[in-house]
Each structure stands twice: as C-alpha cells, then as structure tokens.
Amino acid sequence: MSEIASKASLESVAPFLPLIYVAWADGELAADEIGAVREAASTASGDPSVQLLLQRWLDPRQPPSAFELALLLDGIEEAVARSATDLDQRLDLAALGLAMAESVDGVSSVERDALMRMQEALGVDGTEAARQLLASGRPGAERYSSEPAFDHEGLADFLDQPEAATRQRVRDVLKRPAFRYLDEPTRAEYRDQTYVWLKLLGEEGFGSLSYPEDCGGAGDTAAFMAAFETLAMGDLSLLIKFGVQFGLFGSSIHQLGTERHHREYLPKTGTVELPGCFAMTETGHGSNVADIETRATFKPESDSFVVDTPHQGAMKNYIGNAACHGQMATVFVQLEVAGHEFGVHAILVPIRDQDGRPLPGVSIEDDGAKLGLNGVDNGRLAFSGVEVPRANLLDRFAQVSAEGEYTSPISSPSARFFTMLGTLVGGRVSVAASSNMAAKSALSIAVRYANRRRQFGPPGESEFTLFDYLSHQERLLPRLAKTYAAHFALRDLGRAYVVSMADDTSDRRELESRAAALKAFATWHGTDTVQACREACGGQGYLEENRFAALKADSDIFTTFEGDNTVLLQLVAKGLLSEYQKQFHNMNFGRAVRYAATRVSGKLKELAPSLPRSVDASVLRSREFEADLFEYREEHLLESLALRLKNRIDRGLDSSRAILDVQDHMIELALAHTDRVVFESFCSAIDDAPEDARSTLELVRALFALSTLEQGRGWFLEHGALEPRASKAIRKEVNRLLGELRPQAEHLVAAWGIPEELLAAPIAN
C-alpha cells in the first residue's frame, strides 16, 4: 500500500479527503491551480506529520497514482460509513469533511478555516461535488409515463374521419403475416413480393374502390384516398405500386376515358388481371409535360394511331410497373391528325404479351437500383412505329373520327391541356398525404424512444430521458405540431377533391393550386421530419431494423413525385397574382400582375395597424395574432412580387423572363400562402374536434404557428411587423409550449393509430 494512502495516514487527514480527491479526480486542474489549493492547506494543522501528508497529497510535481486515488475514495466511503452525522443534506466539500472527521478526533478551528480556503481555491461547486461523492449508484429507472389530457380513442377516431372504417380495414389487412416486412431481400425478390402484395390488395377490393360500380368498383373516391393514405403506414414500395396500378393507370382510364374504356379495362385493372403503367414523364422534359415529344399520328387507312419515340431524350422514363410487370401503358403523346397538331393527349398502348415479352416496336429498359422504393419496377419505354387502334385514345375531352376529324368540347388548346392534367390532381393529393404519414411513422418511433432512452443526470438519481432535454423537445415537438397541421389541411384538400370529382362542371383550378401548395408543404416536411427523427434516435436510428433507413430512402422521392416542389410553388405564386386563376391559365399574365399590384396595397394598409408591437403569452397564443402575421406576410409578398413583375413587364420584358428574375420571391410567396392555408385548416379542425381534446390541440396549433413564425422572424423584423421585444417573446413562448406538450407527446402520436406490426421498430417498443 502507498505510504501516503495508508489507513492511518488517511484517518489523520480525514477532514481534507473530499477536497483532495476532487482536486485530482477530474484531472482538469492545472499545476498552478493545485498549487493554490496546496498553499491554502499550508497552515491547516499544527501537527507536522499531518502538514507533511497534505503537502505530499497536493504536490503538483507528484500527483497521486490511479491506485492511490482509488484508496483515497475508499477512505472517504469508510469515513462516511462511520460518521453518525446525517449526510442526506446539501453539504459542500468542506462541510462533508467536517462531518467525516467528527467520528475520529474532531476538527480544530484552524482546520476549519483551512478547509474553507481550500474549497475556495479549488473553484468548484462544493455542493455539487459533494453530492457526486456521496452518490452510491443510480437506481433502476422506471418507464416514463403521463396521463393523457384527452380521450385517446376519441381523438383517434376524429383523426380517422372521414372513412374511418376503410382506414381500419386497411390496418387489419396490413397486420396479416402475409404483409410482413422483408428482411434484406434482393431487388428481384422485393419486386416479386411487392407484386404479390399488390394482387392481394386487389383481391380485397381496395384497388377498385373509386371505379364505377358497374365496372367492379364502389364508386367511392373518398374511400380509395383513405385506403391509399393508410397504406403509407406500411411498406412504401407497396404504396407506390398500388398508386401506379390503381391510381395513375386506373384513374387515367377512369378520368380521361369514356364508358367503353371503363367497361373494357377497369374491372381487369382493379383485380390486377391487367397490370398497367402511367407513361407521362420523359427523360428530356421532366415536369414540362406540354413539350413532351412522344408522338401519336393518326393513320386513317388502318384506323389506328402510330406511336413513335423520336429520339432517346423522348423516352418515357421512371415509369412504375414498366420494368417487369406492366402489360399496358397510358402514354401521353403529342397528337397529330391530318397533318395538324392538337397538343398532349393520352392513349392506351399495349407493351407486353401475357408471357411478359415486350410487344413488337416496344423497347423496355430497367431503371435499375434506386435510392429507395426498390420494390417498384421502374423502367424506360420507347416506341417505334407501334400501331394501336383508334379506340385506344382516351377521348373524354377530345375525339378523332374514322375519317380523321378531330373534335373537342374544349376549343382552347391550353384550356384542354390543363383540364386533362387537372383530372389527375388526385395523385398530388395522395402523395402529400402519404408523405405526412411517413412523418407520422418517424415521429411515432422517435417520440416513444425519447421517453424510454435515458442519458446523463444527477449522481445517485435516475438518468434523464431524452425528452427531458429542451434540445430534444425542439427537435421533435414542432415537427409533431406541423404534422398535425398538415393532417388537417390535407384532409380538407381531400374532401374538396372528392367534391370536385363528383361535379363535372366544377372549375378545378383553385383545387389544383391548393394541391400543388400542400404537396410541396407536406413532402418537404416529411423528408425533414424523417431525417430529424433519425438523428434524434442516434445510432439506434441508423440501424435498418428501426425503419428509418427505409422511411428515409423511400419517402425522399416524394419531393419530386407528381411534380417537382419548386416548380409547383411557382404555379401557386402565379395563381395568387390574380383574383381569378383563369387569367393565368389563359396566359394573360400581364393583366394578372397589374390587377394584383393595385389590389394588395389597400389590403396592407388595413392589416398593418392591427399588428401588435409588444405582446404577452395570451396574445402570442391567440389565433387572431397568429392569423394577422400569416396574412400580413402573404399580402406583403404578393404586393412586392406584383410590383417587381410589373416593372419588368413595363420595361418590355416578356413574362417568362420576368419570372426567371423573381423566382426566389415567387417561392417565398407560395410558402407564405401555404402556411396561412394550413393554419386556417388547423383552426377549423379544432372547432370540430372532441371537446376534451380541444385544449391540447390548441397548444399544438399554437406551437405550429409560433414555431413557423419564429423561423421567419427575420422577415417580420425587416418589414416592421414585429419589434425585437415581441420577436424574443415568440422564442420564449415556443419553449414554454414545448414544456407543456412534452407529457402529451406520446399520446398525440398514439392517436395516429399506427399498429405495432407496421411500426415494427424495436426501439419503439
């Protein structure tokens, strides 16, 4: 045993043991700092032997070894055990030393003074250091739990509306063992299994829900959309395969075709007897559908259309179901009849025979491995002199007679183009809802894990849960609030879409704009949320078994599915430049800009005086305050955008080039508009929610609004809508809301109703 760490020597310096141990244990004190402690101890005792021991213990040139420090700690624990003093109090190091020494010979006033000087020279929190010394290990931690502030089942049922029965039926089917997630499949195995799953869903009748009853369907668009969204709780490759087959391919026949197409093709589409594709996107044009180059030329002598791909850049690319399973494709083409071009139309083109072999003139390539969704067989299609019957033209909006006469109830080419594309807006609605469901899955895993995983904490006490940390609350809770906000906005959008589909006379332009806005909002949010949740789960989130790998890879494409988000937001901004979006669709852009420039100035004057410069919590959380800021930002951006465009057009710049100059402004306006729309949907939904859940949902709504406004504080400060004091108050109020909502977080994600079998992440259990 070390001479200075012998039992006798330790007892002789007992009052000083806690201070000596702390001085060396952390290894953070520099030589001069140890020297200061040593100097403070230089007059600690009149006993030369005690003084010598203290000086040796505190010699910066000869620090104690690891073994000696361990003996020192043993000496402290023994002295504490012998002490009759109650040590369960807030003692500092000096007081702890005194309490330990009382069981030996007592402590002189000289020693007491030296202890205080040494503790001061040590420069640590003596109370905290003493608490750490006295800690005897951490107790077992119980699982965090809290009482819900609302009826869980009541809120879950409200969130499932409309079509709650359909949603539950989809959950029940997906929980079957047949739909269990695959473990590390090859790409071929994954594609084959996804196809099997697809046919099982077809057998259950989910694929034909929106088709007419006389074609084997249920005529229920709302039920189909609810089924699609709920499928996003499970494997996203299956979701997209489902969407391609029953949504894109089937809906193109349903919405662009007529009764003869419906009778011939929809029953087989709904059961997957006829697997199909939706071939719109081309390699060289992407979102620019109006300028696709695949061509269909009418050939009167054979009463057929000849479909051609003029060059490689015009290949139909990224076409789901094309690489392996599709037998027919809805192909979007430039239509030529009798030497005249009539713009983009859709035509049904067989691409494979019953044995899976490409038909003559049809070239099929496999897109190969992708970042995600590898259960979907994306491929490329090209056509060389492929003849298809005239009857294969989907002719709801345009007809071609056997004599080669082209007719259409819509005379304007641009109006006809937008009408045809408008019938397919359901894809954007569904993709947006599915992306939000991916966010729900990610948050359900991350929130549960945050309430179970413990890390750090006071010595002798249970470690904190991850969710006890404000930084962790900031990661997850604003995104949880935004997910709720998106849920209600998308529900309103879905209802509007169902109503529009039931009314052939409705003008869908406002619906198209809202779908574009919310598609961008929800898919960007989904991508951001999945990543944030992955990071919030640390290394566990990186393990494939905990599902973030699949969620992240499979949902990433949603930001460019059904239209690139940046392009969609520009469409939203263009629509906002006029009271009537018709002016934009007719390309009367200059008139729309001038109208907007004169309209919004007065509106801003009405709004500005109502914006408070100093606010308290009750104001910050009020709908009126938040609504004013959302509306003010949108109107101000609209005014300044209109004026910037007007100046350019007045200088002779054409509208297309003027738009290039102000794209950043257009996107900012579209985002501001979308925030307002989402906020208003949230407020409206709360008014209809179960009464016992409203107060909690109001907190969620306030967190969504204030965290969104906080992100834009720079803009509001620059434009005088908020003073610095009010801006700081928003930041503080967000933190208060985080604390209030933290106990309800797990109950709020549970209300989304994602079954354990589909969540399937060990860290969430």
DSSP secondary structure string, 672-695?
A: HHHHHHHHHHHHHHHHHS-HHHHH
Which of the residue ranges 48-57, 157-166, 309-318, 505-514 would you say has the lowest mean pLDDT?
A: 48-57
Mean of pLDDT values over 337-365: 96
pLDDT at 146 over 90: no
Q: Is 160 inside any structural domain?
A: no
Q: Is 146 inside any structural domain?
A: no
Mean of pLDDT values over 252-278: 97
Q: Is 275 inside any structural domain?
A: yes
Average pLDDT, the chain: 88
371 and 382 inside one domain: yes
First to last CA, the chain: 50
pLDDT at 37 over 90: no
396 and 438 inside one domain: no
Q: Is 149 inside any structural domain?
A: no
437 and 365 inside one domain: no
Q: Is 47 inside any structural domain?
A: yes
pLDDT at 85 over 90: no
Q: How does residue 582 score in pLDDT terms, banded at 50, 70 and 90?
A: very low
CB 87 within 8 A of CB 134: yes
Distance CA 492, CA 508 (A): 15
Name the DSSP letter for residue 398: -
Which of the residue ranges 224-233, 351-360, 377-386, 569-578 would you say has the lowest mean pLDDT?
A: 569-578
242 and 291 inside one domain: yes
**Amino acid type, 67:** F
> What is the total count of domains within the chain?
3
pLDDT at 105 over 90: no
pLDDT at 500 over 60: yes
Q: Which residue has the tokens 């907190």?
A: 699
SS3 474: helix
121 and 256 inside one domain: no
Q: Is 164 inside any structural domain?
A: no
pLDDT digits (tens, 9 = 90+) for 117-133: 777 777 777 777 777 77
Between 92 and 563, the more confident residue is 563
Kindly state the tokens that stand for 204. Answer: 């259950």
| Last-in-domain residue among 402, 424, 446 | 424
476 and 417 inside one domain: no
Angle among Cα 695, 699, 702 to the nearest 5 degrees reads 130
592 and 571 inside one domain: yes
Output the pLDDT for position 583: 41
The proportion of the chain whose per-residue pLDDT surpasses 90, expressed as a percent, equals 62
pLDDT digits (tens, 9 = 90+) for 613-645: 557 888 999 999 999 999 999 999 998 998 888
Residue by residue, DSSP assigns 41-105 as: TTTS-S-HHHHHHHHHHT-TTSPPPHHHHHHHHHHHHHHHHH--S---S---HHHHHHHHHTTTT
Q: Is 506 inside any structural domain?
A: yes
Between 175 and 3, the more confident residue is 175
pLDDT at 725 over 50: yes
pLDDT at 104 over 60: no
Q: Report the candidate in 290, 194, 210 with the shortest Cα–Cα distance to residue 242.
A: 194
Output the pLDDT for position 31: 73
Output the pLDDT for position 30: 74
Using DSSP bridges, classify how beta strands 295-299 and 328-337 pair: parallel, antiparallel or unpaired. parallel
Name the DSSP letter for residue 458: S
Output the pLDDT for position 441: 98
Mean of pLDDT values over 215-239: 97
> In the chain, helix, strand, coil percent, each to 5?
60, 10, 30
Partnered with residue 279 across adjacent β-strands are 331
Q: Is 159 inside any structural domain?
A: no
739 and 707 inside one domain: yes
Is the CA virtual torsion 530, 533, 539, 545 positive or negative?
Answer: negative
Output the pLDDT for position 61: 79
CATH assignment at residue 759: 1.20.140.10
Q: How does residue 19 score in pLDDT terms, banded at 50, 70 and 90?
A: confident
pLDDT at 461 over 80: no
CATH assignment at residue 299: 2.40.110.10
Output the pLDDT for position 587: 42
Which of the residue ranges 142-151, 497-506, 545-554 would you say has the lowest mean pLDDT?
A: 497-506
| Last-in-domain residue among 134, 166, 184 | 134
Could you tell me the maximum CA-CA distance found in the chain, to the nearest angstrom?
123
SS3 531: helix
| Last-in-domain residue among 401, 424, 447 | 424
413 and 455 inside one domain: no
Which of the residue ranges 197-206, 476-485, 592-601 would you say has the lowest mean pLDDT?
A: 592-601
Partnered with residue 379 across adjacent β-strands are 319, 366
Distance CA 366, CA 191 (A): 12
414 and 334 inside one domain: yes
pLDDT at 69 over 80: no
pLDDT digits (tens, 9 = 90+) for 447-460: 999 999 888 777 66
419 and 462 inside one domain: no
378 and 474 inside one domain: no
Distance CA 223, CA 498 (A): 10
Element (H, E) at 502: none
The proportion of the chain whose per-residue pLDDT surpasses 70, expressed as a percent, equals 87
Between 691 and 765, the more confident residue is 691
Give the highest mean pLDDT range of 43-52, 274-283, 569-578: 274-283
pLDDT at 482 over 80: yes
Output the pLDDT for position 649: 85
Q: How does residue 176 score in pLDDT terms, banded at 50, 70 and 90?
A: very high
pLDDT at 376 over 90: yes
Structural domain that includes position 186: 176-424
Q: Which residue has the tokens 């640390």?
A: 538
pLDDT at 568 over 60: yes
Q: How does residue 1 score in pLDDT terms, banded at 50, 70 and 90?
A: very low
Using DSSP bridges, classify how beta strands 276-279 and 328-337 pair: parallel, antiparallel or unpaired. parallel
pLDDT at 542 over 50: yes
Output the pLDDT for position 592: 62
Between 702 and 465, the more confident residue is 702
Partnered with residue 55 across adjacent β-strands are none
Output the pLDDT for position 585: 43
Mean of pLDDT values over 37-57: 73
Backbone φ and ψ for 337, nearest 5 degrees, come out as -135, 125
Output the pLDDT for position 306: 98
pLDDT digits (tens, 9 = 90+) for 266-298: 999 999 999 999 999 999 987 788 899 999 999
Angle among Cα 470, 475, 480 to the nearest 5 degrees reads 110
pLDDT at 517 over 70: yes
Distance CA 3, CA 348 (A): 95
pLDDT at 199 over 50: yes
